[in-house]
Structure 1
Amino acid sequence: MSDSSALLRQIPGILHGFGDKRALLPVGLQPYEATRPVKKQVHGVRIVDVSRPGQACGEADGLFTSTPGILLTVYTADCLPVIFSRKDGQHIGVVHAGWRGLIDGILEQVAARITLSGDTADWVASVGPAAGACCYEVSQELNDTFIQRLDLPASLISPRPRHLDLAAIAQAKLRALGFTETDRAGRCTICTLDETGQGFHYTSFRRNSHQRALNPSHPGISGRNQQSGIIIL
């Protein structure tokens, strides 16, 4: 069974899930795959309103809809998928938030979209599987950039020297934006093993890059990014 959010499971009339290597698109969402909007993720902050199945969205890292029957998904392989739903299940959203998106304000863009017609306090947000602080080592320059640009404790941003905690950063941002109910679903995409203990549970861009550096014949992850998504039924 794919990862899911305890908060989102309580909301009526929606289905959601976070993908992994066993089911790149969670099994429960697969029947709706043909309805997905078409987009190109570019580590940006553009949020698109979706009103019809298969809508062409261009470059976008976030989707938002109140229309039933349209599956909203994002691809990830270490970046954060974040799924949103109004508590009545009538409006939903999803974003792809890597380190660039977190710094440049994609979560703030979601909040701005919500507040055009409502209040973030009426929504829940779930932060999905991503590179964890256990494994996500970055340059000192990038670590310092996060600490300088985000109004968050340095110990939250980087609980270990030069290791970013993307999920903690996202949850802290969400709380500051007025989302009173958030949770985390899933584990570190880099190091989490599967149930056999012989392979990995998630696709990971960083782990794959390390493997390919050691063995150039090791296959890349093209076409194997997991998807996380949500749909109003």
Structure 2
Amino acid sequence: MSDISVLLSQIPSIRHGFGCKQALLPESLQPFSASLPEKKQVHGVRIVDVLFPQQACGEADGFYTEQPGILLSVFTADCLPVIFSHKQGHGVALVHAGWRGLRNGILEQMARRINQSGSTRDWVVSIGPAAGACCYEVSQELVDEFRHGLNLPPALISPSYRHLDLPAIAYAKLTQAGFASVDYAGSCTICTEASTVAGIDLAQRDETRKVYRHKYTSFRRNSLKRAQDPSIPGISGRNQQSGIIILPD
């Protein structure tokens, strides 16, 4: 089952969802897929105003619209999908934020765009499934770069040696930007197991067969597998999508 946000679910004029391996694009959003803008995500900070269905957006990692009937989505594996909505559904937005985007300020860029048309105080935000601090080990140099570049507690940025807490960093940045409320939806894309696969309760799986399934597609987990066995395919085309739409009249 795809993840949803408690905050966003309270806004009747929008529909949203965070994908997983069983539904790369959440089923509730699939009827609107023909309206998706064309884009190329590049771990940057460019925000595009989407004005019409199937708009060519070029290289971009953030999308904003006030137009009903246009589905915004981003592809993620271990990066953060961050969904924004006006509290009355007058506008929606979406960001793809990995460590580069967080470091370089894509969330602040989206906050500036929202403040051009109103105020972040009138918007709520949900942070979707991404690599968690439990599993996201990086270089000490990258940890130090975040600690020196952000006015946040060091233990929030890196709660354990050489691990980054991307969701916590995003939450703090969004709070600093003045958004009305922020919540989490989903869990760690690297280690979270699915509760069922094709209707099979994984708690009852045959351990002797070493059947092991995860809820999300993970670039990090897949890369580790490919290092051990080069025949394992990449994840291109199998990234989960997160999305939001202002429902058409």
TM-score by length of 1: 0.99
2:154 counterpart of 1:140:
no
Asked which structure has the greater CA Rg, the reply is 2
2:205 counterpart of 1:202:
no
**3-state SS of the aligned residue for 1:116?**
helix
- Identity percentage of aligned residues: 68
Distance 1:93 1:114 in 2: 9
Structure 1 segments of 4+ aligned residues over 3 angstroms from their partners: none
**3-state SS of the aligned residue for 1:115?**
helix
Q: What corresponds to 1:83 in structure 2?
A: 83
* 1:128-167 alignment, distance < 5 Å: 128-167=128-167
> What is the CA distance between 1:180 and its match in structure 2?
2.7
Q: Deviations over 1:116-173 (max 9, x none)?
A: 1211010000000000000000000001000000110000000011100000000000
> What is the CA distance between 1:219 and its match in structure 2?
1.2
Q: Deviations over 1:52-103 (max 9, x none)?
A: 0000000000100000000000000000000000000010000000000000
**Ranges in structure 2 where 5+ consecutive residues have no aligned partner:** 196-201, 204-211
Task: Identify which of 234, 237, 245 aligns with 1:223.
Answer: 237
2:24 counterpart of 1:24:
yes
Distance 1:117 1:3 in 2: 29
Q: What corresponds to 2:62 in structure 1?
A: 62
Equivalences, count: 233
Distance 1:68 1:56 in 2: 18
Amino acid at match of 1:214: Q
Q: What corresponds to 1:212 in structure 2?
A: 226
Amino acid at match of 2:218: S
Distance 1:87 1:68 in 2: 15
Q: CA RMSD in A?
A: 0.6
Q: What corresponds to 1:232 in structure 2?
A: 246
Q: What corresponds to 1:40 in structure 2?
A: 40
Distance 1:180 1:56 in 2: 31
**Ranges in structure 1 where 5+ consecutive residues have no aligned partner:** none
Distance 2:56 2:238 in 1: 22
> What is the CA distance between 1:11 and its match in structure 2?
0.7
Q: Deviations over 1:156-199 (max 9, x none)?
A: 00001110000000000000000130000000000001112620
TM-score by length of 2: 0.93
Distance 1:194 1:118 in 2: 40
